[in-house]
A and B are shown apart, each in its own frame.
Chain A
């Protein structure tokens, strides 16, 4: 077999073995029982957390529309003393993380959503909605006249709230159904997790992304169905690009030495995303991953907690451990996306098709070279 293999297949790319593994139907993350447990535990709690993030993001987009002082935006419309007390005692989900993610996505842009927000059509939609919203508010009318871009930019941000909320709605459902399958004992291998995620992404690929608000009993479309925005190209791919790959550097985890140009001036070369992040500083104050890990810790399944308790520090360093497990699970999601995006399809056997797939994957391996891919190969 080796002798009959064409010479050009022997590749000098240092990550070529990962490409081979993917083309042979393997996974980026090694298929070990511990990995399955950690990834499933992480996705289990992540599914619960994403559900809440998604509900809140959509609530803010729909019900806090152009509310310049959204004091109760994290209460999901349930404004009562008991809920507020719970909130003040910090017995709550850290919705700030969802907003951070939304802002990172908006900052990096990309995809049809980003493009549509810069069109004249969108400005028209905004003007109509703004006019309706500030009809009885002379202060805002003066404000809008003085700063005509401000409210439009707010609506762009609200569109991202809504877009990310809709994206996470799908992801949360995928992870929740995956968890159900795992708890029924159907999931034993990493490849099953990858396949489940891939199937979920494919099934919802063409789901439309729309956004409209209700003002005074009338509905105003901001991202109308006619804009033709869909789940996969306009939210999922920009999300993966901006959150998994690029991300943003956090103070305290990355040196900001400007003279040494340690942060690239070109944000397309940013590599601070979920696949690259160092889990060790997680738990420190002031960095967004701490918020996510804290939320996931709130909803950590018992089997993962028992797994963590077997280690030296037990739950003492649980946020770092959750981050490491979460990173492993995100490699599974990346894996699913890569397989789903293969130009010649996953099951291709024709030499030209395989070569096209290989070239596609090698392009991605270049980007993954600096990621934690090597680190997650260890048990």
Chain B
């Protein structure tokens, strides 16, 4: 069944490339859409067949491949990869749907997009370290080409920077995986959470550090993030949607699955420092976003900030914060994909993303009122307004992390506040006021922007609907995640023990009379599905 999710996009990619007759851009797009709709339906079918009572891997497939290398075709999913797999199918469809109808070199373009869908799905389902690594690296090539060929004026620079950073990330991850397998004496690269048990602390620490930097580049965490704003600004809208919505999640997914669970002994020791790292990343991303005048850069920096919450939650290492980490990945996937989609429509219609130029786009007659309204909703979700998915994810993250790291959580909360600051700046500058003339219309009395079609609006409206669906009924999401993350927590040989660090001892004195220590016990014992939601 999981192979279907890999085969459908792969066959789609081959179909686009090998189509016997001449394909126009629209036809290539239609072919891709057909395959991606099938892919999405297949992933929904998978959802319907997923057994919530099983906490381990499901739909496992195992085919020996290169046994001498330890590489096997080992697939399987659990509550951690299932939602990410579905969001990948959904956002790939959105990305293809929102691609321009008259794309240059359409065959190559849609081929590469489908390969990305294939590679990302592969990475999410791979249960062999080497197989994961292959899929992880495979996704780089199409993304590099998509930025380098269909990107903006500085695309060469941005694509190369992206390639160097992520290739470095790949090398570190591979080194860590190789080290793990050799040091643990495993006979193959087949992944198991207990692989690192028994290794000396320092060896585990080195392996984890390599993983942290490797995935930290991908997530991205400050100061490893500099490729991201450049890549986003130069990439076309569908690529940004995929990049922010899905590809960054490979970093957090990898860190969560291979870092937190495998090296939990070291992880809990490093946790307070990682939480501080998350704080730095959140605050840096938020403050940098405030300073931007390019809408896309602003959204890109906000990604840096919001991905920091995932690290905070992962560092907090308790069952609720684990749910929060996964929820935040998904919520950020929806919100940032939507934001990039909307910025893309603004750019397509006005020819600029410069906040010094754009004004009054909410004008009901001549502006982009529906897109503008969706933007207001998206930034509300991103800033964590209750009723929307961003609130739930941030609430779970903070609720989970506060019991472990109160000061770090409070500082990250400040980052949530700053989200409102920069996004209100964005909305106020670009959407309120009198509609401004764009450069191409200088001298015209009344600016007239090109008409926004329902094709531009439809994907955005679908994502807006999802923001509310999961914001109002978060258990529809947590029910898939929670059994797996709780099992992961239970399987950790070492728990985050508040007595281990001198830093907690003082805070514990403070906590006890306030009942926060009790809360942490509640959090730990909730494992029956809906948790403390």
Known: A316-B365, A318-B365, A324-B446. 4 other contacts (CB 8 A): A281-B434, A317-B448, A320-B365, A378-B445
Contact (Cβ within 8 A) A280 B451: no
Contact with B along A242-280 (1 / 0, CB 8 A): 000000000001000000000000000000000000111
Tell me the bound Cα distance from A375 to B446 in angstroms: 10
A312 to B365, CA, bound (A): 12
Q: Report Cα–Cα, A378/B443, bound state, in Å.
A: 11
Question: Counting CB contacts under 8 A, is A284 at the interface?
Answer: yes
A249 to chain B, nearest CB (A): 14
Q: How far, in Å, is B442 (CB) from chain A's closest CB? A: 14
B residues in contact with A318, CB < 8 Å: 365
Q: Which residues of B contact A320 (CB under 8 A)?
A: 365-366, 446
User: CB within 8 A of A313: which of B434, B435, B451?
Assistant: B451
List of A residues within 8 angstroms of B365 by Cβ: 280, 282-283, 313, 316-320
Cβ of B200 under 8 Å from chain A: no
Q: Are B363 and A313 in contact (CB under 8 A)?
A: no
- Inter-subunit contact B448/A313 (CB<8 Å): yes
Which residue from chain B places its CB closest to the CB of A311 in the assembled complex?
Answer: B448
Residue of B nearest to A375 (CB): B445
Contact-residue size bin, chain A (C-beta under 8 Å from the other chain)? 20 to 34
B351 within 8 A of A: no
Q: Mark B207-237, 1 if CB is under 8 A from A, else 0.
A: 0000000000000000000000000000000
CA distance A320 to B364 in the complex (A): 10
B450 on interface, CB distance cutoff 8 Å:
yes
Is the Cβ of A280 less than 8 Å from the Cβ of B446?
yes
B443 nearest CB neighbor, chain A only: A378
Residues of chain B lying within 8 A (CB to CB) of residue A278: 434
Complex interface: chain B residues within 8 A of A317 (CB): 365-366, 448
B interface residues, how many (CB within 8 angstroms): 13
Chain A: minimal CB distance from B477 (Å): 35
Q: Is the CB of B450 within 8 A of A312?
A: yes
Q: Sample 22 A-B pairs with CB under 8 A, ordered by A number.
A: A279-B446, A280-B363, A280-B366, A280-B434, A280-B446, A280-B447, A281-B363, A281-B434, A283-B364, A283-B365, A284-B364, A285-B364, A311-B448, A312-B448, A312-B451, A313-B448, A313-B451, A316-B365, A318-B365, A319-B365, A320-B446, A375-B445
Contacts of B447 on A, CB cut-off 8 Å? 280
Chain B, range 14-62, C-beta contacts under 8 Å to A: none
Q: Residues 158-190 of chain B: 1 if any A CB is under 8 Å from the residue's CB, otherwise 0? A: 000000000000000000000000000000000
CA separation between A313 and B450, bound complex, in Å?
Answer: 7
Contact with A along B426-451 (1 / 0, CB 8 A): 00000000110000000001111011
Closest residue of chain A to B450, judged by CB?
A: A312
Q: Find the B residue at minimum CB distance from A282.
A: B365
Chain A residues, Cβ within 8 Å of B451: 312-314, 316
B351 → chain A, closest Cβ, in Å?
15
Tell me the smallest distance from the CB of A204 to a CB of chain B, in Å: 35
Minimum CB–CB distance from A241 to chain B (whole Å) comes to 27
Output the least CB separation between A272 and chain B (Å): 15
Minimum CB–CB distance from B427 to chain A (whole Å) comes to 15
Q: Mark A276-313, 1 if CB is under 8 A from B, else 0.
A: 00111111110000000000000000000000000111
A317→B445 CA distance, assembly (Å): 15
Complex alpha-carbon distance, A319 and B363, angstroms: 12
Interchain CA distance A317-B450 in the complex, whole Å:
11
B363: which A residues are within 8 A, CB to CB? 280-281, 283-284
A residues within 8 A CB of B435? 280
Task: Give the residues in chain A near B364, CB-CB below 8 Å.
Answer: 283-285
Q: Per-residue 0/1 for A316-344: is the Cβ within 8 Å of any B Cβ (1 yes, 0 no)?
A: 11111000100000000000000000000
Q: How far is the CA of A318 from the CA of B446 in the complex (A)?
A: 13
Closest-CB distance, B430 to chain A (whole angstroms): 16
Within 8 A of A (CB), among B339-372: 360, 363-366
Question: Min CB distance, B441 to chain A, in Å?
Answer: 11
Beta-carbon nearest neighbor of A319 in chain B:
B365
Within 8 Å CB of A312, what residues of B? 448, 450-451
| Chain B residues within 8 Å of A279, by CB | 446
Q: Contacts A278-B434, A280-B435 hold; do A313 and B366 have CB atoms under 8 A apart?
A: yes
Which residues of B are found within 8 Å of A375, using beta-carbon distances? 445
Q: Please indicate the chain B residues that have their CB under 8 angstroms from the CB of A313 in the complex.
A: 365-366, 448, 451
Inside 8 A of A314's CB, which chain B residues have their CB? 451
Q: Which residues of chain B have C-beta atoms less than 8 A from A283's C-beta? A: 363-365
Report the separation of the CA atoms of residues A320 and B447 in the bound assembly, to the nearest whole angstrom: 11
Residue of A nearest to B362 (CB): A284
With the chains together, A259 CA to B288 CA distance in Å?
Answer: 32
Bound complex: CA of A324 vs CA of B364, how far in Å?
16
Return chain B residues, CB-CB under 8 Å to A311: 448
Q: How far is the CB of A320 from chain B (nearest CB, A)?
A: 5
Closest 9 pairs (CB-CB, A-B): A283-B365, A317-B365, A283-B364, A320-B365, A317-B366, A312-B448, A284-B364, A313-B451, A319-B365
Q: Nearest Cβ distance between residue A191 and chain B, in whole angstroms?
A: 24
Set of chain A residues within 8 Å of B446, measured between Cβ atoms: 279-280, 320, 324
CB distance from A68 to the nearest CB of B (A): 35
- In the bound complex, how far is the Cα of B451 from the Cα of A375, in angstroms? 24
Residue of A nearest to B432 (CB): A252
The residue of chain B having its C-beta at the shortest distance from the C-beta of A316 within the complex is B451
B 405-464 contacts with A by CB, 8 A: 434-435, 445-448, 450-451
Minimum Cβ distance to chain A for residue B448 (Å): 5
When chains A and B are docked, how far (Å) is the Cα of A95 from the Cα of B446?
29
CA distance A316 to B451 in the complex (A): 8
Most B CB within 10 A of own CB, among A253, A278, A317: A317
Nearest-CB distance from A254 to chain B (Å)?
Answer: 10
In the complex, chain B residues whose CB is within 8 Å of the CB of A316: 365, 451
Residues of A within 8 A of B366 (CB): 280, 313, 317, 320
Which residues on A sit within 8 Å (CB–CB) of B434? 253, 278, 280-281
Closest CB of chain A to B10's CB: distance in Å?
42
Q: Which residue of A lies closest to B447 (CB)?
A: A280
In the bound complex, what is the Cα–Cα distance between A27 and B451 (angstroms)?
Answer: 35
Q: Taking CB as reference atom, which chain B residue is nearest A283?
A: B365
Report the separation of the CA atoms of residues A130 and B184 in the bound assembly, to the nearest whole angstrom: 101
Q: In the complex, what's the smallest C-beta–C-beta distance from B431 to chain A, in angstroms?
A: 12
* Cα distance, A290 to B445, chains bound together (Å): 20
Residues 447 to 505 of chain B near chain A (Cβ within 8 Å) = 447-448, 450-451
In the bound complex, how far is the Cα of B448 from the Cα of A318, in angstroms? Answer: 12
Residues of A contacting B450 with CB < 8 Å?
312
Q: Which of B365, B435, B448, B450 has the most CB atoms of chain A within a 10 A radius of its CB?
A: B365
B360: chain A residues within 8 A (beta carbon): 280
**Complex-state Cα separation, A316 to B360, whole angstroms:** 17
**What's the Cα separation between A227 and B360 when bound, in Å?**
50
B362 to chain A, nearest CB (A): 8
Max chain A Cβ within 10 angstroms of own Cβ: one of B363, B366, B447: B366
A318 smallest CB distance to B (angstroms):
8
Nearest-neighbour CB distance to chain B for A295, whole angstroms, equals: 16
Chain B residues, CB < 8 A from A319:
365
Residues of B within 8 A of A378 (CB): 445
* Cβ proximity bits A210-241 to B, threshold 8 Å, 1 near / 0 not: 00000000000000000000000000000000
Give a binary string over B322-345; 1 marks a CB under 8 Å from any A CB, 0 the rest: 000000000000000000000000
Nearest chain B CB to A220's CB is how many angstroms away?
46
List the B side residues contacting A280 at CB < 8 Å.
Answer: 360, 363, 365-366, 434-435, 446-447
